[in-house]
Amino acid sequence: MSDQKSNFYSGLQQNLDQLREQGLYKPERVLASRQGAEVVSDDGRTLINMCANNYLGLSGQEWVAQASIDATNKYGYGLSSVRFICGTQTVHKQLEQAISQFLGTEDTILYAAAFDANGGVFEPLFDENDAIISDALNHASIIDGIRLCKAARFRYAHNDMADLEKQLQAAADKRHKIIVTDGVFSMDGTIAQLDKIVALAEQYGALVMIDECHASGFMGKTGRGTHEHHNVVGKIDIITGTLGKALGGAMGGFTSGRKEVIEMLRQKSRPYLFSNTLAPSIAGASLTVLERLSSSTELRDRLHENTAYFRKEIERIGFTIKPGTHPVVPVMLFDAPVAQKFAARMYELGVLLSGFFYPVVPMGQARVRVQLSAAHTREQLETVLRAFEQAGRELGLLKN
């Protein structure tokens, strides 16, 4: 090997070693089972899973898997084409229509992932005459999408409406302005203040875009999302979201909004034009999921019952959580090594959890993040709470 090449590889190895030393290395956890409230890891352990985005419990469900098999049988395995050449089937159009109906929008465009939806939404719609005003903690895919666009960038302090107003004033001379926020922020379960954001947008003539990856399917009284939760359905200009979390858990994303917006994205959005169509199995299963969620709020209701129960009981045991109502429950342990030790002990006790520490969350804010699911039974949650109590007592973490 040439010196230059071997320097490249040894440099990579050094950087990888450094990540390990800093505790920032992300190993993959290998499951030998379906996704679900209970999973089996590749070492044969059965674990209660508290760290999936499987909010409605659909990822491993038989009827969802069956819907994907039915769609495969009808439409085949794949299209070997982007959408506009020969990769659009009736099932894709039906799903786009169903998403629009579910969200209360005019039209929807599908992507292979929400990462692509966010990556491809700004550049076709905004240029150097315009301004994008973005929450400081927005998802990486929004940040990347904004980078690909020539619009002026304004950032407001996370969830800070006074700072948002300041940024709207700073952007006053721009032609079009759009405020962009995650509907729900996944680290803290913080729900964006969409009522206030919409009011500010109206005052300053700005558009509003929300990323609903941690909201579509279960936020709001019929699960339509954060806009329903805050009573601003019909007042959001652009909604992006994923099919890979609550809405079935496979993969796929979408952008939804006014028909002019979606039509322009179909003409110009690069991840749509230059990447393969969503597999028919996923489109068909997602359609079946949306039909089910439109006809009953049972899963959404069970998720919120589980969330309320867990939030109440975990505090009663003596843990500190970030207050809120979202199924993301940050259990605060503050100290990074403690959070690591705690997650490892919970694993031994049969509970799968993820620990987060700096730089993923601010210094001194280390935590384990619990994510509730409609699939968790009361017995499973009781088992998890007992494990929390035991590990908390062993590590001296309980307030009571």
The smaller minimum CB distance to ligand PLP, of residues 75 and 115, is found at 115
DSSP 28: P
Minimum separation from the CB atom of position 180 to ligand PLP (A): 11
Report whether the peptide linkage leading into residue 280 is cis, meaning its omega lies within 30 degrees of zero.
Answer: no
DSSP state of 31: B
Task: Quote the least distance from Cβ 242 to ligand PLP, whole Å.
Answer: 3
Cis geometry, peptide bond prior to residue 124 (ω within 30 degrees of 0): no
How far apart are CB 383 and ligand PLP at their closest, in Å?
28
Q: Point out which residues bind ligand PLP (CB under 6 A).
A: 113-115, 118, 139, 141, 182, 186, 211, 213-214, 242, 244, 253
> Radius of gyration (Cα) for the chain, nearest Å?
22
Catalytic residue among 214, 229, 230, 304: 214
Q: Is residue 319 within a helix (H) or strand (E), and if so which, with residue range?
A: none
Cα-based distances in Å from 264 to 79, 108, 255, 270: 23, 11, 12, 11
| Closer by beta carbon to ligand PLP, 248 or else 392 | 248
Which one of 245, 322, 326, 376 is the catalytic residue? 245
Nearer to ligand PLP, 118 or 365 (CB): 118
Q: Which residues, 6 or more positions from 47, have their beta carbon under 8 angstroms from its beta carbon?
A: 38, 39, 40, 41, 347, 350, 351, 352
What is the rounded distance in angstroms from the CA atom of residue 298 to the CA atom of residue 295? 9
> Shortest distance, CB of residue 5 to ligand PLP, whole angstroms?
33
Active site residue 150: no
Does the annotation count 312 as an active-site position?
no
Place of tokens 């499951």: 31
Angle between helices 280-295 and 62-75 (to 10 degrees): 130
Taking the complex as a whole, the smallest distance from the CB of residue 330 to ligand PLP amounts, in Å, to: 15
Return the number of the residue (36 or 253) whose C-beta is nearest ligand PLP.
253
| Residue 399 bears catalytic tag | no
For the record, the structure tokens of 39 come out as 């999973």
The residue annotated as part of the active site, out of 33, 41, 158, 186, is 186
Which residue, 253 or 257, has its beta carbon nearer to ligand PLP? Answer: 253
- Distance in angstroms between the alpha carbons of the first and the last residue of the chain: 62
Catalytically active residues are 186, 214, 245
